Each structure stands twice: as C-alpha cells, then as structure tokens.
C-alpha cells in the first residue's frame, strides 16, 4: 500500500505521509468507510497541526472536513 511506503520512507510524522494519509481518508469516505476514514483524517490532522501549526490552512481544511463527516453530511460531497 502506498501509505505504508510513505510511513517507512519518510516516517509517520512527515508532512508527505500526512498528505497521503489525508488522501487515503478521503478515498475511504467516498467508499462509505466512515469510521476508518475519520481515523486516517485525524492522524493527518495531528501531523499537520504538530508540523505546520493549528492555524495553518491545511490543518484547518482537514479539521473542517472531519467536522463535516462527523456531522453526517454524507451526500453531496465532491
């Protein structure tokens, strides 16, 4: 899996790994795997917040997506 490659190659706390984690979380959500999606998005969010700061645009974007998914707005995304 690509995510495993990024975790091994760059480390689990690297921004590139977080980008992959974020993308994988979105794919899972689109495939109706909500809980696992949120897990991956939360990991990406934590890495972005720790590396870029909690007020960085990417950190805030991921946070908003998690809130929307948790809020149950399932239909009509992208």
Give pLDDT tens digits for 35-57. Answer: 999 999 999 999 999 999 999 99
Provide the whole-model pTM.
0.86
pLDDT at 73: 55
34-42 contacts, C-beta under 8 A, 24 or more apart: 34/69, 34/74, 37/69, 38/66, 38/69, 38/70, 41/65, 41/66, 41/69, 42/66
The CATH code for residues 2-70 is 1.25.40
Task: Give the chain's mean pLDDT.
Answer: 92
The answer to whether residue 77 scores a pLDDT higher than 70 is no
Domains of the chain by residue range: 2-70
């Amino acid at each position: 899996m690509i995510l495993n490659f990024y975790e091994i190659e760059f480390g689990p706390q690297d921004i590139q790994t977080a980008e992959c984690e974020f993308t994988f979380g979105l794919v899972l959500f689109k495939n109706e795997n909500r809980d696992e999606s949120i897990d991956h998005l939360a990991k990406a969010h934590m890495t972005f917040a720790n590396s870029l700061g909690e007020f960085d645009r990417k950190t805030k974007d991921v946070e908003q997506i998690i809130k929307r998914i948790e809020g149950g707005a399932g239909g009509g995304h992208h």
